[in-house]
């Protein structure tokens, strides 16, 4: 592995782990705040126990999210100094505002975890909600920096120099809203179904039924509502990509020929075949895909006869790795559809047919869905990041030009991959222990205070 | 507006040293505590820093964000040539932060606690050590962008005796800060006496390491003596630090009020940073070829500096009252949410 690939891989691994920790740390406080609210309103001690159990999860994920985020704020410079030298001042606003939001989150967490029986109970509840709100703000802001790499704006680029920098304009770039919306909903879907799935598992094993049933209902309600909204934000995001980054869209769909009445391809393998004889141009095509005629044109531009740009209009040296992007995109969409369907079943079970929550088929489906949302998030980020290649700033700077001159990155890549794997193993181990201890810690109903 | 950004840059560094440094120090003290007393120290430490420790480490993030938004060239010079120590520091931050939380939130108390404790204390020692080495590399002018070989480019600037001494000095200062803070947190007279003696020992070690820094600076080919004492502010800062040191020792032995002791300890560290930073200002770092990297010159365009200043001022309106209220609320040892 050469250093450039190692640097990309290290960044990918760091982001890949951070996104999971950060999503859970961002979304779980909302579940916790709802459980806490129910306790304060109804006085049902079971809700207090759920709140406390979840608050430990929040603490664990906040710290892993915080340290992996600190790591990333340095890695931007450690791995991509050529990028940060110019991009730092342009995309500084989302980062500095995110710093503020992150700080508030840390303070709120201090109040919340240590404020039991010390603070006014509604102020205490509010600090719990504030963890979620400021975490959400951090997430939205930091996506703006990524969106800027996809739709760079707020500067003039001439002869290799950036001038007339407007950091506010850079922050409000065109890709921000679609990307942030899609990401936030995804965080709710993934975390909600993962948390709900764990509680479903415990229900399936007939443990602490009341505790897990109430916890399941809160988590799954968030997840299901977000999953039902997600296709709309996905459509919004895809239209934005079609407009801003036609090469990425073509790679996502595996579309080679620019055409009207473009079909929507599902599945399929991107292949390059050498010509039989004579001509020297390689033939690219998507094989074994199921095609829905006209659908891509309709989805992206609203008309069947609208023209969708294919890879044949993109210079070959500006193609992203099409195979990877296409597969990742198909995985994301497939998981999204499955979770959409599961969401309908979940809502029926929670709101209408409550008996379902005791049926093993219902619980099994939710157990299977534990990793689904996170797999979809990882696939989605693969589409965004690999799909932008070979650019680090779309059509301004190539990733290869931004990489650090320091050799030997491949060793730090192996080392930090190992660290992240160990860290994740530790987190899973701790969560396993938390769940195992639920009967001991929360089964005895303490006196109401 | 540039001056506001620079003030925030140094302020966040100072606060990271005073608050985050004390957190590191708590781990260092735990390392040098007899195994009989370790559980007591651990408990006092946890109750004292638990509610505020996340916030304490945010100052590093604020510092680094100001640096890469406002002074991108300085940031990328650091991240390029000090790549290895920065990675080691990050490793320390990751291990320490997670071990601190894991040992508290592991629902089962068993031998895993020994693992968490070991990770926590060692990374508490190593992280400020590396931080000090990075600081040493930044001020000593050993970073050489024109060098040809890997060791000259990426190892020599920070892997030398001088930087090592600065690292030890930083570690001793962190331990000293933590010991002084913890005097006020200890409930029993026995623990108070323990922390008083630890404060004094770490202070002596800091003095020795400080002398070591001066002595080794000759090997690093730059005159720290001239640097610190060559100007009025430097002389004043060192004298003020020494006076406050005497006062602090007197206060420790006489059992004076904890707030006074804390203020004096913070004052000393502030004076040290002032003495180091003043001579150099507005330069942030020196390169091997003698080039001075100035905050006034190597900075982002005005529009970015203005926006950053407004963001910092606006952010402070939200953060500072809330943060002060956090410290106020938990001024007495907190009740942890789990016994």
Residue B98 to residue A92, Cβ atoms within 8 A:
no
Residue B304 to residue A165, Cβ atoms within 8 A:
yes
Taking CA–CA distances from A117, the nearest residue in chain B reads B335
Find out whether B278 and B237 touch, Cβ atoms under 8 Å. yes
Beta A283-287 vs B283-286: how paired, if at all? unpaired
Q: List, in order, residues 6 or more apart from B239 with CB less than 8 Å away.
A: none
Residue B75 to residue A406, Cβ atoms within 8 A:
no
For chain A, give every domain's residue range. 3-160+169-442
Find out whether B204 and B252 touch, Cβ atoms under 8 Å. no
Q: List, in order, residues 6 or more apart from A199 with CB less than 8 Å away.
A: A212, A213, A215, A216, A219
Chain B residues in contact with A69 by the CB 8 A cut-off are 61
- How is residue A22 written in tokens? 């950060």
Q: List, in order, residues 6 or more apart from A428 with CB less than 8 Å away.
A: none
Residue B311 to residue A103, Cβ atoms within 8 A:
no
CA distance B22 to chain A (A): 17
Which run of H or of E encompasses A69? helix A45-79
Residue A63 to residue B98, Cβ atoms within 8 A:
yes
Chain B residues in contact with A99 by the CB 8 A cut-off are 58, 61-62, 65, 315
Place of tokens 């100094």: A81
Residue A261: Cβ within 10 Å count: 16
DSSP class per residue in B267-294: HHHHHHHHHHHHHHTTEEEEBTTS-EEE
**How big is chain A, counted in residues?**
449
Side-chain-side CA neighbours of A198 within 13 Å: the count stands at 21
Residue A92 to residue B307, Cβ atoms within 8 A:
yes
The rounded distance, in Å, linking the Cα atoms of B143 and B220 is 11
Structure confidence at residue A446 (pLDDT): 46
Chain B residues in contact with A78 by the CB 8 A cut-off are 79, 83, 86-87
Residue A448, judged by CB atoms within 10 A of its CB (0-12, 13-18, 19+), counts as exposed
Place of tokens 């950091």: A167
Summarize pLDDT for B172-211 with one digit per residue, the tens: 999 988 888 888 777 778 888 888 888 888 888 988 998 8
Taking CA–CA distances from A439, the nearest residue in chain B reads B107
Chain A residues in contact with B118 by the CB 8 A cut-off are none
Residues 299-318 of B with CB under 8 A from A: 300-301, 303-304, 307-308, 311-312, 314-315, 318
The rounded distance, in Å, linking the Cα atoms of B192 and A52 is 33
Residue B303 to residue A111, Cβ atoms within 8 A:
no
* Facing residue for A70 by CB, picked from B80, B90, B303: B90
**Burial B102-140, CB ≥16 within 10 A → b, else e:** bbbbbbeeeebeeebbebbbbbbbbbbbbbbbbbbbbbb
Q: List, in order, residues 6 or more apart from B119 with CB less than 8 Å away.
A: B95, B96, B99
Residue pairs spanning A and B at CB distance below 8 A: 210
Residue A60 to residue B101, Cβ atoms within 8 A:
yes
ipTM score: 0.86
Chain A residues in contact with B150 by the CB 8 A cut-off are 407-408
Taking CA–CA distances from A93, the nearest residue in chain B reads B308
Identify any residues that bridge with B132 across adjacent strands, giving them in sequence order.
none
The pTM of the whole model exceeds 0.95:
no
Find out whether A366 and A346 touch, Cβ atoms under 8 Å. yes
Residue B93: Cβ within 10 Å count: 23
Mean pLDDT of chain B: 84
Chain A residues in contact with B58 by the CB 8 A cut-off are 99, 102-103, 106
pLDDT at B334 over 80: no
How large is the greatest C-alpha to C-alpha distance in chain B, in angstroms? 59
Residue B105 to residue A85, Cβ atoms within 8 A:
no
Place of tokens 């009341």: A210
CA A220 to chain centre: 18
CA geometry: angle at A313 spanning A311 and A319, to 5°? 45
Beta A290-292 vs A156-158: how paired, if at all? unpaired
CA distance B84 to chain A (A): 9
Residue B329 to residue A100, Cβ atoms within 8 A:
no
Taking CA–CA distances from A435, the nearest residue in chain B reads B107
Chain B residues in contact with A62 by the CB 8 A cut-off are 54
CA A60 to chain centre: 19
The rounded distance, in Å, linking the Cα atoms of B169 and B129 is 8
Which run of H or of E encompasses A368? helix A360-368
Residue A37, judged by CB atoms within 10 A of its CB (0-12, 13-18, 19+), counts as middle
Residues 24-53 of B with CB under 8 A from A: 50-53
* Facing residue for B91 by CB, picked from A89, A116, A419: A419
Place of tokens 């201090």: A110
The rounded distance, in Å, linking the Cα atoms of A179 and A320 is 19
Identify any residues that bridge with B179 across adjacent strands, giving them in sequence order.
none
Q: List, in order, residues 6 or more apart from A267 with CB less than 8 Å away.
A: A288, A289, A290, A330
- How is residue B55 written in tokens? 């916030």
| Per-residue tens of pLDDT for chain A, all 449 residues | 788 889 999 999 999 999 999 999 999 999 999 999 999 999 888 898 889 889 988 988 888 888 888 888 888 888 998 888 888 889 888 988 988 898 899 899 988 988 888 888 899 999 999 999 999 999 999 999 999 999 998 888 888 788 888 888 889 998 899 999 999 999 999 999 999 999 999 888 877 788 888 899 999 999 999 999 999 999 898 888 988 888 888 888 888 888 888 888 888 888 777 776 666 677 787 878 788 888 888 888 888 888 888 888 888 888 888 888 989 999 999 999 999 999 999 988 888 887 887 888 888 899 999 999 999 999 999 999 999 988 998 888 888 888 888 888 888 889 889 888 988 898 899 888 888 887 777 655 544 43
Residue A99 to residue B72, Cβ atoms within 8 A:
no
Which run of H or of E encompasses A285? strand A283-287
Chain A residues in contact with B312 by the CB 8 A cut-off are 96
Find out whether A236 and A260 touch, Cβ atoms under 8 Å. no
* Facing residue for B55 by CB, picked from A74, A90, A106: A106
The rounded distance, in Å, linking the Cα atoms of B23 and B58 is 12
Of B147, B140, B300, B72, the C-alpha closest to A405 is B147
Residues 201-260 of B with CB under 8 A from A: none
The rounded distance, in Å, linking the Cα atoms of B80 and B278 is 25
Low-confidence winner among A235-244, A394-403, B62-71, B231-240 (lowest mean pLDDT): B231-240
Of A387, A411, A389, A415, the C-alpha closest to A402 is A389
Residue B334 to residue A114, Cβ atoms within 8 A:
yes
Chain B residues in contact with A52 by the CB 8 A cut-off are 337
Identify any residues that bridge with A156 across adjacent strands, giving them in sequence order.
A163
Which run of H or of E encompasses A209? helix A209-244
């Amino acid at each position: 592995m050469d250093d450039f690939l190692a640097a990309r891989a290290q960044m990918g691994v760091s982001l890949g782990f951070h996104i999971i920790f950060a999503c859970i740390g961002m979304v779980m406080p909302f579940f916790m705040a709802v459980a806490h609210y129910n306790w304060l309103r109804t006085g049902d001690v079971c809700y207090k126990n759920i709140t406390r159990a979840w608050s430990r999860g929040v603490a664990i994920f906040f710290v892993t999210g915080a340290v992996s985020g600190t790591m990333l704020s340095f890695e931007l410079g450690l791995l991509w100094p050529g990028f940060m030298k110019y991009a730092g001042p342009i995309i500084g606003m989302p980062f500095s505002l995110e710093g503020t939001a992150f700080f508030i989150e840390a303070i709120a967490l201090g109040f919340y975890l240590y404020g039991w029986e010390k603070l006014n109970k509604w102020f205490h509840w509010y600090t719990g909600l504030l963890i979620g709100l400021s975490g959400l703000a951090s997430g939205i802001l930091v996506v703006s920096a990524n969106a800027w790499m996809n739709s760079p704006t707020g500067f003039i680029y001439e002869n290799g120099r950036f001038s007339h920098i407007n950091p506010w304009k850079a922050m409000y770039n065109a890709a921000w809203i679609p990307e942030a919306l899609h990401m936030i909903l995804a965080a709710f879907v993934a975390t909600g179904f993962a948390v709900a799935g764990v509680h479903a598992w415990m229900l399936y094993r007939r443990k602490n039924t009341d505790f897990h049933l109430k916890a399941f209902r809160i988590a799954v309600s968030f997840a299901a509502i977000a999953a039902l909204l997600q296709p709309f934000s996905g459509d919004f995001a895809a239209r934005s990509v079609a407009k801003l980054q036609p090469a990425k869209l073509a790679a996502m769909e595996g579309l080679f020929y620019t055409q009207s009445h473009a079909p929507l391809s599902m599945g399929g393998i991107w292949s390059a075949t050498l010509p039989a004889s004579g001509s020297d141009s390689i033939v690219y095509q998507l094989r074994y895909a199921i095609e829905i005629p006209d659908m891509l044109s309709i989805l992206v531009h609203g008309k069947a006869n609208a023209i969708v740009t294919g890879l044949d209009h993109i210079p070959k040296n500006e193609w992203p790795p099409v195979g990877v992007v296409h597969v990742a995109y198909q995985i994301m969409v497939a998981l999204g559809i499955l979770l959409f369907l599961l969401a309908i079943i979940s809502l029926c079970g929670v709101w209408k047919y409550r008996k379902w929550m005791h049926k093993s088929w219902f619980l099994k489906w939710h157990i299977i869905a534990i990793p689904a949302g996170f797999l979809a998030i990882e696939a989605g980020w693969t589409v965004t990041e690999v799909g932008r290649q070979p650019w680090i700033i779309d059509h301004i700077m190539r990733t290869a030009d931004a990489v650090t001159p320091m050799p030997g990155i491949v060793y730090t890549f192996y080392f930090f991959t190992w660290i992240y794997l160990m860290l994740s193993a530790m987190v899973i181990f701790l969560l396993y222990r938390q769940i195992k201890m639920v009967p001991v810690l929360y089964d005895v109903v303490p006196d109401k205070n | 507006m540039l001056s506001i950004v620079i003030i925030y840059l140094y302020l966040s560094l100072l606060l990271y040293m005073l608050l985050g440094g004390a957190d590191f120090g708590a781990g260092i003290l735990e390392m040098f505590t007899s195994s009989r007393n370790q559980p007591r120290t651990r408990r006092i430490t946890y109750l004292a820093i638990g509610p505020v420790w996340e916030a304490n480490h945010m100052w590093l993030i604020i510092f680094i964000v100001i640096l890469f938004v406002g002074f991108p060239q300085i940031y990328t010079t650091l991240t390029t040539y000090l790549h290895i120590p920065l990675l080691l520091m990050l490793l320390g931050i990751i291990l320490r932060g997670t071990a601190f939380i894991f040992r508290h939130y592991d629902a089962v108390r068993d031998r895993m606690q020994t693992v968490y404790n070991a990770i926590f204390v060692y990374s508490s020692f190593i992280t400020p050590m590396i931080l000090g080495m990075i600081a040493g590399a930044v001020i000593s002018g050993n970073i050489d962008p024109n060098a040809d070989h890997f060791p000259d480019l990426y190892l020599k600037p920070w892997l030398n005796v001088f930087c090592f001494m600065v690292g030890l000095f930083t570690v001793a200062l962190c331990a000293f800060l933590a010991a002084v803070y913890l005097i006020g947190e200890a409930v029993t007279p026995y623990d108070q006496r323990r922390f008083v003696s630890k404060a004094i020992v770490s202070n002596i070690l800091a003095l020795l390491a400080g002398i070591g820094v001066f002595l080794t600076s000759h090997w690093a080919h730059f005159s720290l003596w001239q640097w610190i004492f060559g100007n009025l502010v430097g002389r004043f800062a060192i004298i003020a630090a020494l006076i406050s040191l005497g006062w602090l020792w007197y206060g420790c032995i006489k059992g004076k009020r904890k707030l006074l002791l804390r203020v004096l300890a913070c004052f000393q560290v502030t004076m040290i940073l002032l003495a180091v930073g003043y001579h150099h200002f507005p330069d942030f770092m020196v390169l091997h070829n003698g080039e001075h990297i100035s905050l006034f010159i190597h900075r982002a365009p005005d529009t970015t500096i203005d926006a950053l200043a407004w963001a910092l001022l606006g952010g402070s309106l939200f953060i500072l009252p809330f943060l002060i209220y956090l410290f106020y609320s938990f001024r007495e040892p907190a009740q942890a949410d789990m016994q």
